[in-house]
Amino acid sequence: MTESDGRLAGPSVDHGAARAGAILTIDLDAIVANWRFLNAKVAPASRCAAVVKADAYGLGAARVTPALYDAGCRRFVVATLDEALVLRPLLPEAEIFVLSGPFSGCEEEFPAAGVTPVLNSTEQIARWRAAANRLGRPLPSVLHVDTGMSRLGLCADEARLLAGDAETLAAIRPILLISHLACADEPAHPLNRKQLEAFRSARALFPGLPGSLAASSGIFLGSDWQADWCRPGAALYGVQPTATGDNPMRPVVRLDARIIQVRDVDAGESVGYGATHLARTPGRLAVVAAGYADGLFRTLGNRGCGYLGEHRVPLVGRVSMDLVIFDVTGLPNELATPGATISLIGLHNSVDDLGRAAGTIGYEILTSLGRRYHRHYLNGSPR
Ligand SMILES: *Cc1c(COP(=O)(O)O)cnc(C)c1O
Based on the domain organization, do 119 and 214 belong to the same domain? yes
117 lines ligand 1 (CB under 6 A): no
Based on the domain organization, do 229 and 111 belong to the same domain? yes
With bands split at pLDDT 50, 70 and 90, how would you rate the model's confidence at 381? Answer: low
Based on the domain organization, do 184 and 275 belong to the same domain? no
Residue 2, pLDDT > 80, answer: no
Catalytic residue chosen out of the listed positions 53, 57, 307, 373 = 53
Q: Under a CB-based contact definition with an 8 Å cutoff, are residues 219 and 242 in contact?
A: no
> Mean per-residue pLDDT for 95-111?
98
Based on the domain organization, do 54 and 194 belong to the same domain? yes
234 lines ligand 1 (CB under 6 A): yes
Flag whether 22 is in a domain. Answer: no
Q: Under a CB-based contact definition with an 8 Å cutoff, are residues 65 and 90 in contact?
A: yes
User: What was the pLDDT predicted at 18?
Assistant: 86
Taking all residues of the chain, what is their mean pLDDT, rounded to a whole number?
95
Q: Ligand 1 atom closest to Cα of 152?
A: 13
Flag whether 15 is in a domain. Answer: no
Strands 283-288 and 253-265: antiparallel
Based on the domain organization, do 98 and 147 belong to the same domain? yes
Based on the domain organization, do 94 and 204 belong to the same domain? yes
158 or 6: whose pLDDT is higher?
A: 158
Altogether, the residues listed in the chain come to a count of: 383
What's the Cα-to-Cα distance from 217 to each of 102, 236, 242, 350, rounded to whole Å? 27, 11, 6, 17
Question: Closest residue (by CA) to atom 15 of ligand 1?
Answer: 99
Flag whether 121 is in a domain. Answer: yes
Based on the domain organization, do 141 and 211 belong to the same domain? yes
How many CB atoms within 10 Å of residue 15? 11
User: What was the pLDDT predicted at 14?
Assistant: 64
User: What was the pLDDT predicted at 1?
Assistant: 60
How many CB atoms within 10 Å of residue 255? 27
Q: Show the DSSP H helices in 250-370 as ranges.
A: 351-357, 362-368
Cis peptide bond prior to 44, omega within 30° of 0: yes
Catalytic residue chosen out of the listed positions 41, 57, 237, 273 = 273
Bind-site residues for substrate: 151, 321
* 343 vs 345: CA distance, rounded Å: 6
User: What was the pLDDT predicted at 108?
Assistant: 98
Q: Under a CB-based contact definition with an 8 Å cutoff, are residues 183 and 189 in contact?
A: yes
* 70 vs 89: CA distance, rounded Å: 14
For residue 188, the SS3 value is coil
CATH (domain of 296): 2.40.37.10
What's the Cα-to-Cα distance from 113 to each of 70, 81, 290, rounded to whole Å? 21, 10, 39
Based on the domain organization, do 140 and 281 belong to the same domain? no
Flag whether 187 is in a domain. Answer: yes
User: Candidates 37, 97, 99: which one to mutate for ligand 1, based on the most atoms within 8 Å of Cβ?
Assistant: 99
Based on the domain organization, do 186 and 97 belong to the same domain? yes
Based on the domain organization, do 194 and 302 belong to the same domain? no
Residue 11, pLDDT > 90, answer: no
Bind-site residues: 151, 321
Flag whether 201 is in a domain. Answer: yes
The per-residue pLDDT for range 136-154, each reduced to its tens digit, is 999 999 999 999 999 999 9
Residue 23 backbone dihedrals phi, psi, to 5 degrees: -120, 125
CATH (domain of 203): 3.20.20.10
How many CB atoms within 10 Å of residue 13? 11
Q: Under a CB-based contact definition with an 8 Å cutoff, are residues 220 and 187 in contact?
A: yes
Residue 326 backbone dihedrals phi, psi, to 5 degrees: -115, 145
98 lines ligand 1 (CB under 6 A): no
With bands split at pLDDT 50, 70 and 90, how would you rate the model's confidence at 16? Answer: confident
Flag whether 382 is in a domain. Answer: no
Q: Which domain holds residue 137?
A: 28-237
> Mean per-residue pLDDT for 91-119?
98
User: What was the pLDDT predicted at 8?
Assistant: 42
1 or 120: whose pLDDT is higher?
A: 120
* 319 vs 66: CA distance, rounded Å: 35
For residue 152, the SS3 value is coil
216 lines ligand 1 (CB under 6 A): yes
Q: Under a CB-based contact definition with an 8 Å cutoff, are residues 262 and 34 in contact?
A: no
Give yes or no: 53 in active site. yes
Split into its structural domains, the chain has a count of 2
Based on the domain organization, do 45 and 117 belong to the same domain? yes
> Mean per-residue pLDDT for 234-248?
97
* 238 vs 363: CA distance, rounded Å: 10
* 119 vs 107: CA distance, rounded Å: 11
User: What was the pLDDT predicted at 106?
Assistant: 97
Q: Under a CB-based contact definition with an 8 Å cutoff, are residues 78 and 101 in contact?
A: no
What's the Cα-to-Cα distance from 59 to each of 238, 347, 379, rounded to whole Å? 11, 18, 14
Based on the domain organization, do 308 and 216 belong to the same domain? no
231 lines ligand 1 (CB under 6 A): yes
The per-residue pLDDT for range 258-289, each reduced to its tens digit, is 999 999 999 999 999 999 999 999 999 999 99
User: What was the pLDDT predicted at 12?
Assistant: 44
> Mean per-residue pLDDT for 40-52?
98
Q: Ligand 1 atom closest to Cα of 99?
A: 13
* 144 vs 155: CA distance, rounded Å: 9
pTM of the predicted structure, to 2 decimals: 0.95
User: Candidates 180, 181, 226: which one to mutate for ligand 1, based on the most atoms within 8 Å of Cβ?
Assistant: 180
Give yes or no: 194 in active site. no
